[in-house]
Amino acid sequence: MDLGRVVVTGAAGRIGTAVRAGLRGSVEQLVLVDRAPLTADHPSEEVRQLDLLDAAAVAEALAGAEAVLHLGGVPDEAPLPDLLQANVLGTHHVLEGARKHGLRRVVLASSNRLTGCYPTAKTVGPADPPRPDGLYGVSKVALEALGRLYADKFGLSVVCLRIGSYEDRPLERRHLATWLSPRDCLGYVRAALTTPGVGFTAAYAVSANTRRHWELPAELGYTPLDDAEAHLATLPEEPPGNGLQGGAFAEPAFTLPYL
């Protein structure tokens, strides 16, 4: 399905940069939003340099759009006030702009870290309660709650992608379960933007890893193609972990510096 005007927030980030290139051929206009300066590299691209905390600027960027892919925010553990500003308030501004302008679809970048304190032996799906592995994961719980609110109360169509470990290839043993390849990332994004009939859904965006401990999202109609197991021989040996899906992210030492 070809798309009309699509806004991508956080377009200067790693995933935003990759998705930008992958979406160019299937959209009429791609609006790239970030605080960092960007340059339009294709006739279909438009650049908006703005802060997601500026609600009026966000709403203006969303005017006339068909869909928004919201990738902007703080991407890792940080002090809670910073995460609340960037990941929660910024998301609220995106959802409110989408409501005002009647966007057909909102795709929110959630995270596997929302359930990182589950044991690795358990297969986790969106129906399982959140067990965040840090303050970053807490901010993603709030992001999904906002998405649910706007779907239930205002009728927005919202997809929350719980993004796995996005890397060109697996870099550590945990990635045997959590890896999200660039090819599969783009596949999930396209499906999240185009799949019809979605009210609200949360879905794990993860490659077809033999050792994965998350349910694959049948409702988006995308079947991942890559498996981290193919890279097993390239990974270093590691001591036994803590048995939690978040691995080191779930350790107290990871969050203590930010408290």
- Residues annotated as catalytic are 136
Q: What is the DSSP string of 192-248?
A: HHH-SS-SEEEEEE----TT--B---GGGT------GGGGGGGSPP-----SBTTGG
CA atoms within 13 A on the CB side of 18: 17
The residue type of 174 is: R
- Taking every pair of Cα atoms in the chain, the longest distance, rounded to a whole number of angstroms, is 52
Token readout for 249 is: 């992210």
Classify burial at 226, counting beta carbons within 10 Å of its beta carbon; exposed 0-12, middle 13-18, buried 19 or more: buried
Task: Tokens 């702009």: give the residue.
Answer: 97
Which one-letter DSSP state was computed for residue 183? H
Classify burial at 206, counting beta carbons within 10 Å of its beta carbon; exposed 0-12, middle 13-18, buried 19 or more: buried
Return left, alpha or beta for 243; rule: phi > 0 is left, psi -120 to 50 is alpha, else beta: left
